[in-house]
Amino acid sequence: MKLAKILFILVLSFSSLFAAEAPANAPKNDQKNEAESIASAILGQYNGLKSFSAKYERVFTQSSTKKKSHDNGTILFIAPSDIRMDTFAGGKMTEQTFVDSEKTTLVYFEKKSAMVKKSANEAAEYLSFLKGLDEVSKKFTIGDSTATIDKARKTGMVIKDGSKMLKLTPKTAIANVKYIFITAINNEIDSVIIIDQLKNINQFTFSDIKRDPALDKKDFKANIPAGFEVSEF
């Protein structure tokens, strides 16, 4: 009888233990499921994307001084990895960026110089959403940061009312990228916000987004003007 009583008490103890743990774990699972649902709705529509075009307004906020600089431009993309960014300031073309699977070419018109690097630069990481949820998930841990939008606004991020926000944390170190935030309204991407290791904020806000527009591959080849100084790395 004593043995039966002891076993009965142990069964009750374990039952109580697992019952107490379930509510504690449930919120974490709910948060994970919510993040996956939001990520699927926003990034899943970019799975299998063939091409992309958009205009952007960029604001760079320096963490130490809170000084802001502004420019704007256009982004073009052709799968699997070709990117072209044209940057303007004061209505004048100031910079072009061309990224493919082998190299990055940066053309600086005011300096009359160009730089060719045998690797993709940060632009490929900033725009990683173009490769869709499956590819983003390989390189980043994705979380739902919608609840932190008010706090994020206090740092200088411009986030529209009604937005959802994803936080992308690199699984391995990426130069000049500590976190990437993606904001979306009605599951359409509105902006990409890059936070670097010095807490500087680089925010691209998009407009006139087109998925799978007709683009010409030849427009993704850099044409460096004659007389420009070219450096290769």
Q: What is the pLDDT of residues 117-143, one digit of tens each?
A: 887 666 778 898 999 999 999 999 999
> For residue 126, what pLDDT is reported?
83
Residue 133 counted as domain residue: yes
Residue 118 counted as domain residue: yes
Contacts with 217 (C-beta within 8 Å, 6 or more apart), sequence order: 78, 82
- Residue 98 forms beta bridges with which residues? 84, 105
Residue 36 counted as domain residue: no
- Which is more confidently placed, 199 or 27? 199
What CATH number does the domain containing 135 carry? Answer: 2.50.20.10
* Residue 6 predicted with pLDDT over 50: no
* Residue 24 predicted with pLDDT over 70: no
* Residue 118 structural domain: 45-232
Residue 166 counted as domain residue: yes
How many domains does the chain fold into? 1
DSSP 121: -
Residue 181 counted as domain residue: yes
Residue 107 counted as domain residue: yes
Residue 74 counted as domain residue: yes
* Token representation of residue 58: 């960029």
pTM: 0.83
Residue 15 counted as domain residue: no
> For residue 209, what pLDDT is reported?
96
> What is the mean predicted confidence (pLDDT) over 86-105?
92
Among residues 24, 44, 30, 53, which one has the least CA distance to residue 182?
A: 44
Residues across the chain: 233
Q: What are phi and psi of 142, to 5 degrees?
A: -105, 125
Cα distances (Å, whole numbers) of residue 144 to 25, 130, 141, 189, 206 = 17, 19, 10, 14, 20
Share of the chain above pLDDT 70, in %: 85
Q: How far apart are CA 183 and CA 233, in angstroms?
A: 34
**Helix, strand or coil, per DSSP, at residue 223:** coil
